[in-house]
Structure 1
Amino acid sequence: MAATPKPASYFKGRTGYRPDFLGDGSAVALPALSEDLLADVAKLDDGSYELRYEHFSTAQSMSRRMPLFSACNVDGASGKSLPRYDTWSYDGRIDKQYQMLREACGDQGEQKFSRGHMTRRQDPNWGALETAQQANIDTFTATNVCPQWQPFNDGLWGDLEDYILLNAQGDSKRVSVITGPFLRPDDPKRFEILVPRDFWKVVAFISEATGQLSCIAYMMSQGEYLDTGVANDLEDFKLSQRPLSYIEQHTGLTFTDLAGKDVFDGVDLTFVQPIRRVGDTKLAA
């Protein structure tokens, strides 16, 4: 782990998340922040808050020292399989005091948590080999991490993204994935860090079935582990498909370009569809 933050110059030229990535005239901008989140988000020297990396962007909560969200463009047609980089770094564009790598994360023998990627390591690793390698390295940045229990950190989240990628329109197989924690004031404290109980994921894509921009929203919980110290199987993680409006209400984020595009658009805010396998996902309205 690198103790010295990477300087701003290291990130020069990063274009970050592209709203127009899906094509077909569709745009999916980064979510808008509520006034409370705007007061809490870490700012760059120019007053902006988007931290641009290779093929993804994040925005960092100062109070919680974790990302409010991490947004990534995924091109399945040009993906590269790369070895794990595994050296975590701080981002020198914002103050190190607003970033967290060590406090709650580390040795599982001490009941610490894994450093859970919000944009998963493999997602931005596409395009030219050099570009994919840079994206791989960029995912190991403190602004892309939340403390997660290791079994939670593996598996079904990524399987769902892959499933949707396969159902994206045409040969391009492109999706845009925005992921983050629910940062609640009553989250349990571990090692002096408030650890998120729940996480959300929004996947936007051009539907193979309809040819239109669509999105799917998910929620997954590590609350069972935080409450009891164990979680025995996938059902304990309470993975579910939720209305996008639920994510918006409980995060302070607004997905303006996805209004009316959710496959559960119009259903009651409290609706829950449990996900026990990838095929449980509803892909079209």
Structure 2
Amino acid sequence: MAATKHTSSPAPPGTTATPSGDGQDTLMTLQRPVEEAAPGPGYDTNFLSAPITAPELDPSIKPDAVELNGSEVIPYTHFSLALSAPRRFAIWVGWNIDGASIKRLDRRGIEFRKDPRLPATAQVSNELYKGPTNRLDRGHIARRADLLWGPLSDAQKANRDSFFYTNITPQMDDFNQSARNGLWGRLEDAVFEDVEVDDLRVSVFGGPVFLPDDRPFRGVQIPREFWKVLVYAEGGTLKCKAFLLTQSLDLTESLDLNEFRVFQVKVSEIQDRAHIAFASAMATADTLALPRALEDRAPLARQADIDWS
């Protein structure tokens, strides 16, 4: 049976044209600003010294991807992503960080919201997170702070774009803090602290691992593994570092947290788990030597355990 494509054209951006009496049409806002429905150009392939293209989906999951204007790559300001229709979360998110022009912006007043360009049924929203006893948080895949760079108008737009539900996955309320004393949430900061990053520029990819036995909660399968890959240049040499976080969740009514573990892994291991293919330059830039199986390795306990060589 032929695979079903999940396609979408841009939704009407909340405006309508009305005659102004001078032969021109005047736009009247009905529900939301036009800008909110028109995010920026997305992840920049040419952000680093060598081109780093967006991941390609394995044929086994490619039919699951939601398409926008005929493409599975959905752009926002300073990041792009591919969205899984059946799982309703991003398959991958790719973003650029310009450490030389980072801005500090407030998040107050910005609401989490569905992307109006995409089918609402392909996005998990507040129904998963509501309730005073629910310990699931809305966790950004592309960190909000990573995206706030460039001209102020771009940084402000990226700030808002980061709150689309397409960039959100469910995480325990102490997810980043509990993962080896916050190591998972500080990986991007760590590379700037520990490495002489050329031009202070880093490209990052991240996302969940979709496992068939992920436990359901409120009708949604909750990913229990996440991955992140950092790409940068040091002394003119391209480098690539990959990390995997596994979480053991007892998805009972109380959503008890058992354990977080962070591992440094090969890029090829992320490709196998996430069913995607990274740019060939990333595999060449990944020099980590790991002869043992993942289950035989020790998790990272602190930032000093990361191999940046």
Same fold by TM-score greater than 0.5? yes
1:7 maps to 13
Match of residue 214 from structure 1? 239
1:197 to 221, 224, 229: 224
Could you tell me which residue of structure 1 aligns to residue 288 of structure 2?
A: 264
Matched, 1:83 2:127: no
The C-alpha deviation readout for 1:47-78, integer Å capped at 9, x for no partner, is 10111111111111000100001111001111
**Greater fraction strand:** 2
Q: Output the CA distance in 2 between the equivalents of 1:56 and 1:43.
A: 16
Give the deviation of 1:265 after TM superposition: 5.5
- The residue number in structure 2 matching 1:114 is 137
Paired position in structure 2 for 1:274: 299
Map 1:27-106 to 2 at 5 A.
Answer: 27-44=51-68, 46-85=69-108, 86-106=110-130
Q: 1:251 aligns with which of 274, 290, 299?
A: 274
Length, aligned pairs only: 271
Contact 2:172/2:257, CA 8 A, preserved across alignment: no
Q: Alignment partner of 2:229: what SS?
A: strand
5+ long unaligned stretches in structure 1? none
Report the alpha carbon displacement of residue 157 of structure 1 after superposing the two structures with TM: 2.2
Distance 1:141 1:242, change over 3 A: same
Q: 1:144 is matched with which residue? A: 167
**Matched-pair contact (CA < 8 Å) for 2:198–2:233:** no
Given that 1:263 and 1:282 are in contact with CA atoms closer than 8 Å, whether structure 2 keeps it comes out as no
Distance 1:78 1:157 in 2: 23
Matches of 1:62 and 1:282, distance apart in 2: 36
Change (3 A) 1:207 1:12: same
> CA offset at residue 226 of structure 1?
4.2
Report the secondary structure of 1:65's partner residue.
coil
Q: Quickly say closer, same or farther: Cα 1:65–1:29, change in 2 above 3 A.
A: same
Root mean square deviation of aligned Cα: 2.3
For 2:150 and 2:199, the matched residues in 1 are separated by 12
Instruction: Flag the 1:102–1:112 CA change in 2: closer, same or farther, 3 A.
Output: farther
Q: Which of 159, 167, 180 is 2:186 aligned to?
A: 159
1:214 CA drift (Å) = 0.9
On the 8 A contact 1:165/1:174 being kept in 2, the answer is no
Relative to structure 1, the CA distance from residue 186 to residue 22 in structure 2 (aligned partners, 3 Å threshold; closer, same or farther) is same
d(CA) in 2 for partners of 1:266, 1:164: 20
Change in Cα spacing, 1:224 to 1:124, as seen in structure 2 (3 Å) is same
Query: Shift of residue 36 of structure 1?
Result: 2.1
Evaluate the alpha carbon distance shift between residue 266 and residue 222 of structure 1 in structure 2; reply closer, same or farther with a 3 A threshold: closer
TM-score normalised by the chain length of structure 2: 0.81
Question: 1:92-122 deviations in whole A, cap 9, x for unaligned?
Answer: 2211100011232233x33241111100111
Secondary structure (helix, strand or coil) at the match of 1:88 reads coil
- Asked if the contact 2:197–2:232 (Cα under 8 Å) also holds between the matched residues in 1, the reply is no
Amino acid in structure 2 at the alignment position of 1:48: S
TM-score, with structure 1 as normaliser: 0.87
Residue 22, structure 1, aligned to residue 28, structure 2: no
Alignment partner for residue 263 of structure 2, among 240, 254, 267? 240
Structure 2's unaligned 5+ residue stretches are 1-10, 15-33
**CA separation of 1:80/1:141 partners in 2, compared to 1, >3 Å: closer, same or farther?**
same
